[in-house]
Amino acid sequence: MALTITWLNSAYLRGRCCRQKVLHPLLRPLLSDSMSKLYSSYRRPGSQPEKKPSWQLTDFSFKKGIDVLKTQLSMLKEETKDYLIGPGGRPLSHYLLEQTRVLWEFRSQEDLKKWVISSDVEIGGKSEVFLKLGRNNQTALLYGTLNTEVPRDGETKYSGYCSMRSKPPVGSFARKKYYDWSNFNSLYLRVRGDGRPWMVNIYTDPYFSHQKDDLYNYFMFTRGGPYWEEIKIPFSKFFLSSRGRVQDDQHPIWLDKASFISTLGFTIGDKVDGPFQLEIDFIGLLNDRAHTEEFAYETYEKNPKV
């Protein structure tokens, strides 16, 4: 009997959790900024305590809820239509024969809104980073000033970085989605830098794994000058950093299959104070049939047995 009650309680909790995940994106627009008051216990000194119950402070907007519901249902309809056509909304024959694909190109402000910039200001640093459209609104210009001065907080030991990171894809009803690049073997970029090195980051989040948000890196060296540079980066060159999983010299981990990709990013942190800039035309994928390399780095044993 006790076992049955325990099972029913767990089933009820799971069902309630699922309902919250589904209803959360629907209820969010219904509530105005007064929800912040509901969860905030701060009260200005000298002010009178609120006499109304907390549930009466919530302002519901059913019109916004209906509009959001229509939008989410429309997105779900398009996703279902694409799923019935084939992978990514393309027929299976086109998907298998696909050689190139443009992921991001920068031609308007809407393209820039798909990216987020950050710097060491978040930890008390002094670096600055900006993102805007380039000349004739045909490129993205990432620029700023790197400052390696460590904040005087007694805890931070290193500083001086700026980054640009794509927003993760989101489906209907706030479902988390992933990029599937398993049909390609290289990342293809057209950039124009100032000669400083950049770290290209790929974040993965395997669905059926306890390893979350693994970070793979590749150092991209720009040559500077007025000429554009087309860079092909095989996925076999992306090496797992010290985040997510633990690795050793005998069992290195690299990006062997580009699936469950959550975001792509660029980071500068070469410990050189001064201005920087990186201009990006487009970011795409390439399936190079001539590239058969599986791992681009040599491996050694620390203590080989004689």
Mean pLDDT, consecutive 10-residue stretches, the chain (306 aa), reads: 45 44 46 40 53 63 81 84 78 79 93 94 92 91 94 84 92 83 90 94 71 79 90 87 52 64 92 94 89 67 61
Question: pTM (2 decimals)?
Answer: 0.70
Fold adopted by 100-286: Jelly Rolls (2.60.120)
Q: What is the pLDDT at residue 302?
A: 60
**Domain ranges within the chain, ordered by starting residue:** 59-97, 100-286
Q: What is the pLDDT at residue 219?
A: 92
The CA–CA distances, whole Å, from 282 to 92, 139, 154, 273 equal: 25, 8, 41, 28
Q: What is the pLDDT at residue 91?
A: 79
List CB contacts of 204: < 8 A, sequence separation 6 or more. 213, 214, 216, 255, 259, 260, 261, 262
List CB contacts of 203: < 8 A, sequence separation 6 or more. 213, 214, 215, 216, 261, 262, 263, 264, 265
List CB contacts of 121: < 8 A, sequence separation 6 or more. 127, 128
* Residues facing 274 on adjacent strands: 146
Q: What is the pLDDT at residue 23?
A: 45
